[in-house]
Amino acid sequence: MSEELYISIIGEVFDGYTEFIYKDKPVYLKHFNIRDQRYIHKYYEKYKNIAVSKGLETESSRLQKIKKDDIWSDDDDFKIHSLDLEIKNLTQTKKQLFLPSQKDAMQKDIDDKYLEHLSLKTKRKEVIGKTAEDYASARSNEEMLRYFFFQDPLLKKHLFTEDEFSEIEDYELIILLNIQSEVSKRLSDLNLQAAVLRPFFSMYMSHCDNINNFYGRPIIELSVYQLKTAIFGRMFYNIFQYTENIPDNIKEDPEKLLSFSDMQRNKTKDSRSLKDDAAASAVFGATKEDMKVIAGDSNAISLKDELDKNGGKLNMDQMMKLAGY
């Protein structure tokens, strides 16, 4: 993304809405805040009750039936729950790992668990079928479209009245849903983090510590995107303050910067067992990338590579030389 787009993203966050053109006129999509949560729940419960009154079963009711018919079981649900916990635990463990090769191996394990988890959840949904909760979720999401779309940047006048929205054509509904989806993608966590790390935001970063003062408004009035932007700013400011030797080429890349910060914290904890004061370091099974991380310089040597060079054997002199003596 260009610098102008990142500036635009931050501008939208500060405004609390995203402007776009709909039917040749400017329209404004309000950004969600904590006060809006009650309306989402209100609409969800409204449509769930309607669905039940018309004979659509709830998920719990459907589950009881398919379990009674041996189509699904408690063990299947337990497996889904267990995989969910495993994925979360593995993801946390990965953050604590030091060597890139260890991280890569852990990510492969996470990916495998995720695919298994997704397969089971898909199968579960297929055997349960459409429920009152599904209907309520879909209809409440549509209802919230009317709630979040406005005619003016002050967000005072809705784009549609309730009567107008009840008669909206399906194709118009799809257009509005797509706009909402695009805004969510545009203001994703990764894009917000990248925007916060751009040079133009650097003058604001140190002020993110006090969110109330930063925006000049109570927290309960702030959008989710405003809260996230301030939190990301504070997080990266702390990284820059307390993490040494950050390479210039990753200072504007949120994923690499966070990974480097985690690695540096773990390096202090783990490197004592991996590195000594010798000019070269050797760790069995470590990749060249691992050894660069361990040694922190170009003197890193992979013991596996040296074994391969010497027919799988190293004498004492060769071992001493690898150790820097």
Digit-coded pLDDT (tens) for 86-137:
999 999 888 777 677 888 899 999 999 999 999 999 999 999 999 999 999 9
**What is the C-alpha separation between 28 and 86, in angstroms, rounded?**
41
Q: What pLDDT shows up at residue 262?
A: 82
Q: What pLDDT shows up at residue 90?
A: 94
CB 122 within 8 A of CB 141: no
- pLDDT (mean) for 213-232: 92
Among candidates 118, 174, 164, which has minimal Cα distance to 141? 174
Identify the residue with better confidence: 145 or 295: 145
Identify the residue with better confidence: 219 or 287: 219
Digit-coded pLDDT (tens) for 235-278:
999 999 998 889 899 999 998 898 888 878 776 665 555 554 54
The full set of domain ranges for the chain reads 190-270, 276-322
- pLDDT (mean) for 71-97: 92
Phi, psi of 158 (to 5 degrees): -65, 150
Among candidates 295, 248, 242, 246, which has minimal Cα distance to 267? 295
**What is the C-alpha separation between 89 and 83, in angstroms, rounded?**
10
- pLDDT (mean) for 179-193: 94
- The pLDDT of residue 306 is above 70: no
Q: How far lies 48's CA from each of 43, 132, 135, in Å?
A: 9, 5, 7
Residue 259's Cβ-side half-sphere holds a number of Cα atoms within 13 Å equal to 14
Q: What is the mean pLDDT of the chain?
A: 85
CB 28 within 8 A of CB 150: yes
Contacts of 97-100 with C-beta under 8 Å, sequence gap 24+, read 97/266, 98/263, 98/266, 98/267, 98/269, 98/270, 98/271, 98/274, 98/293, 99/286, 99/287, 99/290, 99/293, 99/294, 100/287, 100/289, 100/290, 100/293
- The pLDDT of residue 160 is above 90: yes
The tokens for 25 are 């006129």
List, in sequence order, every residue forming a beta bridge with 17; answer none if it has no partner: 30
Which segment of 29-38, 46-55, 194-203 scores lowest on mean pLDDT? 29-38
CB 88 within 8 A of CB 149: no
Q: What pLDDT shows up at residue 297?
A: 47
Q: What pLDDT shows up at residue 298?
A: 46
Digit-coded pLDDT (tens) for 124-148:
999 999 999 999 998 888 888 889 9
Q: What pLDDT shows up at residue 134?
A: 94
Number of other CB atoms surrounding residue 139 within 10 Å: 17
List, in sequence order, every residue forming a beta bridge with 19; answer none if it has no partner: 28
**What is the C-alpha separation between 305 and 303, in angstroms, rounded?**
5
Radius of gyration for the alpha carbons in the chain, expressed in angstroms and rounded:
27
Number of other CB atoms surrounding residue 155 within 10 Å: 17
Q: What pLDDT shows up at residue 65?
A: 94
Number of other CB atoms surrounding residue 16 within 10 Å: 20
- The pLDDT of residue 58 is above 60: yes
Among candidates 36, 21, 29, 5, which has minimal Cα distance to 200? 5
